[in-house]
Amino acid sequence: MPWWLPAGIALALVAAVVGGALTALGLAAPGLDLAGNLGDAYLWRVVRFTLFQATLSTLLSVALAIPVARALARRRFPGRGLLLRLFSLSLVIPTIVAIFGIAAVHGRTGWVNDLSELLGLGRTHYLYGLTGILIGHVFFNMPFIARILLQAVEAVPPETWRVASQYGLRSRDIFRLIEWPAMRTVLPGAAGLVFMLCFTSFAVVLTLGGGPKATTLEVAVYQALRFDFDLGRAVALALVQLGLCGAIVLAVLQLAVPGSMTLTEGRIYERPDRGGRLGRSIDTLAIVVALALVVLPLAAVAVAGFNPKTFEVLIDPRLWRAVGQSLVIALSAGVIALLLGGAVLVSSRILRHRLGRPGAAGRLELCASLILVVPPFVLATGLFVLLRPVADVFALGMPLVILVNALMALPFVVRFLGGPMMEEAQRHDRLCQSLGIGGWNRLRLVEWPNLRRPAALALAVAATLSLGDLGVVALFGSQDFATLPLLLYQAMGGFRMGEAAVVAAVLSLLCLALFLTIEWGLGGLKRRAHV
């Protein structure tokens, strides 16, 4: 099998969906006037603001994720495992639920203001505006970066820690010499992904940004496609978004440095920097900040789920039908995403490791992420135009949602599985080649024992991501389709905020349960020793 084939298949799927949707929509537009659409001042004001908030959000998320990942790497405390799982939830929560959770903590009548009033400091409006955008984006993205960084630090071979102990390295030197180099191998990829998510953020920016000054390109696309029914402009704006994001993330990826790994004997050594009062204070502070920014809004979502409607909703068969359908979509999309992500990485690993072309490998992985920056409305409308002449779009609803969700989860799989797969290659690739172990045997005997934990994590993230997604089918129209996010929006649209809160809490708990089941079931309870 040629090295490019696995990635080729996966990326062909991405290209077919994205390219097909955009081309179909572009062809449907009467006279696509690209230049004419890119000339107006409104558009460029929007682009400037989009870039500004996305850059700031990404930088802040990274700046907070580094100390949080460090604290999690060197401290063991009760609830650490739970905190890590909760970290994976923030990406999954539907935006509208997250907005309510954040408002319940940071809003005018939120917990922070309650506390401030209790202390005699009075209430302040600090949420809506740039602060709100940053709080929102840190909530969604900081935990994701922190987990990726933590994974990289935990992969530092024990021997390094032994040497660090022998030299008596201090905390600062450990960061400079050991942790930062490990983080740098994965940080550009993760930051690039977060940048794309912030760039395409719609409701968070509009609602928490406080008003129309906070408009992203995605809002302009929505406006063009839905209110003005200007397909040409929608395609033009989507291409601007794709181009800008692609170029910027490509530039960020240039900062990546390939990791270097030494062979390890696999015994665990203690880190030498757990003592020290300063370090302990910094770590405590980082954990507290993480709790306040991420866990409190999640807690608010859970608390809101207990209201007079709770029992009524919990015994409603519609809820359980939606749970069932959501689980089917989540697991199918998760497995497909894992397979596709694995395929991309098999190829990029060969590029990076055997052919010595890390730049090309990075670009390959980037291609897998580009679906994230295609506005969902453009994607859905494009797919509709593309498929309607050849198939019954209703009958295709479920498979289509699964496919699109799988592709949307693909970039996360690549990020979570990428590091461990490269590390695995560095440890065993030569050995396997010289012993002639390949194919199924290599997967079963060498790769799987070492990769099952990260693979389980990637699958869990991919599946839960799909659980929270509204799905393009909501835009196609449907009769029998019922997922939890859809139920949530329907309840809200009918004034049923109480019922909606229960559905949101059920959705979060289901995500957590699914996450734990996959991680424990597939990943195994204990970390396996390296071969």
Partner 1 sequence: MRFSTLLFAAAVTAAALPAHAAEKTLTVYTYDAFTSDWGPGPAIKEAFEAECDCTLEFVALDSSIGVLSRLRLEGENNKADIVLGLDLNILAEARDSGLLAPHGVATDALALPVAWDDDTFLPFDYGYFAFVYDTERLDSPPASLKELVEAPDDLKIILEDPRTSTPGLGLLLWVRAVYGDEAPAAWAKLARKTVTTTKGWSEAYGLFLEGEAPMVLSYTTSPAYHMIAEDVERYQAAAFAEGHYMQVEVAAMTKSTDTPELARQFLQFMLSPGFQKNIPTAQWMYPATDLPEGLPSAYDKLVDPAKPLLFAAEEVAAKRKAWVEEWLQAVSQ
Number of C-beta neighbours around residue 114 at 10 A:
12
Asked if 99 is part of the footprint of partner 1 (rule: CB under 8 A), the reply reads yes
Residues 9-28 that bind partner 1 (CB under 8 A): 28
**CA 530 centroid distance within chain:** 28
Sole binder of partner 1 in the list 12, 42, 77, 448 (CB under 8 A): 42
Asked whether position 305 contacts partner 1 by CB under 8 A, the answer is no
CB 459 within 8 A of CB 522: yes
Residue from 89, 164, 206, 425 binding partner 1 (CB under 8 A): 206
How many angstroms separate the CA atoms of 170 and 272, rounded? 8
Stretch that binds partner 1, among 179-187, 282-290, 322-330, 488-496 (CB under 8 A): 488-496
Nearest approach, Cβ of 222 to partner 1 (angstroms)? 6
| Backbone φ and ψ of 259, nearest 5° | -75, 150
From 55-63, 152-160, 258-266, 496-504, give the range in contact with partner 1 by CB under 8 A. 496-504
Exactly one of 134, 344, 486, 510 binds partner 1 (CB under 8 A); which one?
Answer: 486
- Can you tell me which residue has the tokens 């050991």? 178
434 binds partner 1 (CB under 8 A): no
Contact between 500 and 300 (Cβ < 8 Å): no
Nearest residue (CB) to partner 1, 64 versus 127: 127
Cα separation, 239 vs 11, whole angstroms: 18
Is residue 103 a contact point for partner 1 (CB under 8 A)?
yes
- Residue 198 CB, shortest distance to partner 1, in Å, is 17
What's the CA gap between 182 and 368, in Å, rounded? 23
Pick 218 or 273: Cβ nearer partner 1? 218
Does position 235 bind partner 1 by CB under 8 A? no
Phi, psi of 374 (to 5 degrees): -85, 120
Nearer to partner 1, 144 or 202 (CB): 202
- The stretch near partner 1 (CB under 8 A) out of 72-80, 339-347, 470-478, 521-529 is 470-478
String of contacts with partner 1 for each residue 130-159, x by CB under 8 A: --x---------------------------
492 binds partner 1 (CB under 8 A): yes
Q: Is 186 exposed, middle or buried (0-12, 13-18, 19+ CB in 10 A)?
A: buried
Rounded distance, CA 48 to CA 45, Å? 5
- Alpha-carbon gap, residue 46 to 218, rounded angstroms: 9
- Residues in contact with partner 1, total (CB under 8 A)? 54
d(CA 221, CA 215): 11
Nearest CA to 197 out of 255, 249, 256, 251 is that of 249
Min CB(202)–partner 1 separation in Å: 7
- Of 4-12, 30-38, 201-209, 260-268: span binding partner 1 (CB under 8 A): 201-209
Angle at which helix 376-387 crosses helix 231-253, to 10 degrees, equals 120
Q: Is 207 in the site for partner 1 (CB under 8 A)?
A: yes
Region for 39 from its dihedrals, namely left if φ exceeds 0, alpha if ψ lies in -120 to 50, beta otherwise? alpha
Q: Which of 118, 119, 227, 525 binds partner 1 (CB under 8 A)?
A: 227
| Site membership for partner 1, residue 55 (CB under 8 A) | no
List the one residue from 144, 161, 175, 222 that touches partner 1 (CB under 8 A).
222
Interface pick for partner 1 out of 81, 356, 477, 521 (rule CB under 8 A): 477
Quote the Cα angle for 385-389-395, to 5°.
90
Pick between residue 231 and residue 253 the one whose CB is nearest to partner 1.
Answer: 231
Report whether 225 contacts 234 (CB < 8 A).
yes
Stretch that binds partner 1, among 107-115, 348-356, 358-366, 421-429 (CB under 8 A): 107-115
Show the binding pattern over residues 319-358: x = contacts partner 1 (CB under 8 A), - = does not.
----------------------------------------
Give me the long-range contacts of 261-267 (CB less than 8 A, separation at least 24). Answer: 261/157, 261/423, 261/426, 261/427, 262/157, 262/159, 262/160, 263/427, 264/157, 264/158, 264/159, 264/427, 264/530, 265/158, 265/159, 266/158, 266/529, 266/530, 266/531, 267/158
Binding interface with partner 1 (CB under 8 A): 28, 42, 96, 99-100, 103-104, 107-109, 125, 128, 132, 202-203, 206-213, 219, 222-223, 225-229, 318, 381, 384-385, 388, 474-479, 486, 489-497, 499-500
